[in-house]
Amino acid sequence: MAKKKITVVGAGNVGATTAQLLAYKKLGHITIVDVVDGLAKGKALDLMESAPLENFDSRIVGTTSYEDTANSDIVVITAGVARKPGMTREDLRDINAEIVKSASEQIIKYSPKCFMIVVTNPLDTMTWVAMKYTGLPKNRILGMAGVLDSTRFRSFIAMELGVSNDDVHATVLGLHGEDMVPMPRHSSVAGIPITELLSKEKIDALVERTRQGGGEIVKLLKTGSAFYAPASSVVNMVESIVLEKNRIVPAAAYMEGEYGIHGIFMGVPVKLNWSGVQSVVELTLTSEEMAALHQSADAVHKSVAQLKV
């Protein structure tokens, strides 16, 4: 089977780490594009020089020209300004919207049939911007964050209980931000609901830590934001697509009535394979969970309405 062509837009920490993991997992040939002269080329060359040690034969190309991204099968948009301490994801909205708009227009010009994954924050809003300026159908574009938010919740549960990450499954719905909706009822360890393993107070603390997961890292780093877990989350999605795993993963999908939500991207479970998003999985929610999800949706609607692009 011919290798897929995967383009990563942005050669910063998230983009470069994404390219590294894609190469090490042998998921395709990789093009990294960045407006900063030499940045993408330097990181691509550095990665290629690791190939003999990491045993991969993928080609990795760095460029400033979107022409070099032509005929990409999958495009990952990571370009944008990172959060600094005290900033919310919404503080980045108008700056990053222009960046995502420009990248989207260039990408679709050269790769009109690509599958797109958006990582730039505020993620749900930026995925809406990318859809607007690419015209991609809803099954060909997703925002990454559901995987990231769920894996953070999984990590915190595993750390708290001292169990293997392999045995922990967690679900997080809603936007990527402080209004996300972690779902303890749909989270378990080896099939046992965490509500039977942890007190309500402990679960509430883990839910809050998940909501603040990105901000916790921003405060610690002081000069940047998370990139290892975000990159791993992107690659988890790409792997499901390239290997046609038909996995059900949480991701920001375009909503057309599911959960009673319309016209925005929101974190929900989706069935994912090479054709794109096959379907949105609708969980049975309590009235309280549904209210929290709609509150999250309202925040996304507000953010999209305030866009200046």
Instruction: Report DSSP letters for 48-95, one per residue.
Output: HTTHHHHT----EEEES-GGGGTT-SEEEE--SPPP-TT--GGGGHHH
Residue-wise pLDDT tens digits, 254-283: 999 999 999 999 999 999 998 899 999 999
- What is the pLDDT of the chain when averaged over all its residues? 95
Q: Answer whether 255's CB lies under 8 Å from 119's CB.
A: no
Confidence at residue 1, expressed as pLDDT on a 0 to 100 scale = 61
pTM to 2 decimal places: 0.96
pLDDT band at 145; cut points 50, 70, 90: confident
pLDDT at 212 over 80: yes
Q: Which is the catalytic residue, given 176, 262, 294, 301?
A: 176
Closest C-alpha to 25, from 179, 185, 238: 238
Predicted confidence (pLDDT) at residue 163 exceeds the cutoff of 70: yes
- Residue 176 annotated in active site: yes
Report the pLDDT averaged over residues 234-249.
94
* C-alpha–C-alpha distance, residues 80 and 122, integer Å: 10
Do residues 25 and 54 make contact, with C-beta atoms less than 8 angstroms apart? Answer: no
In sequence order, what are the beta bridge partners of 271? 248, 279
Residue 303 scores a pLDDT above 70? yes
Residue-wise pLDDT for 171-196, tens only, equals 999 999 889 999 999 999 999 999 99
Distance CA 112, CA 31 (A): 16
Buried b (16+ CB within 10 A) or exposed e, 120-137: bbbbbbbbbbbbbbbebe
Q: Is the dihedral of CA 148, 149, 151, 156 positive or negative?
A: positive
The reported pLDDT for the residue numbered 309 is: 85
Per the CB < 8 A criterion, the answer to whether 287 and 180 are in contact is no
- 214 contacts 226 by C-beta, under 8 angstroms: yes
Q: Read out DSSP for 171-227?
A: -EEB-SSTT-EE-GGG-EETTEEGGGTS-HHHHHHHHHHHHTHHHHHHHHHSS----
The DSSP bridge partners found for residue 76 are 8, 117
CA 286, CA 54: separation in Å to the nearest integer?
Answer: 47
Share of the chain above pLDDT 70, in %: 99
pLDDT in tens, 84-129: 788 777 788 999 999 999 999 999 999 999 999 999 999 999 999 9
Contact of 116 with 140, CB cutoff 8 Å? yes
Domain 5-144 is found in CATH 3.40.50.720? yes
Cβ atoms < 10 Å from Cβ of 167? 15
CATH T-level assignment (fold) for domain 146-305: L-2-Hydroxyisocaproate Dehydrogenase; Chain A, domain 2 (3.90.110)
Question: What 3-state class would DSSP assign to 272?
Answer: strand
DSSP class of residue 144?
S
Q: Which residues pair with 297 in a beta bridge?
A: none
Q: Where are the domains of the chain?
A: 5-144, 146-305
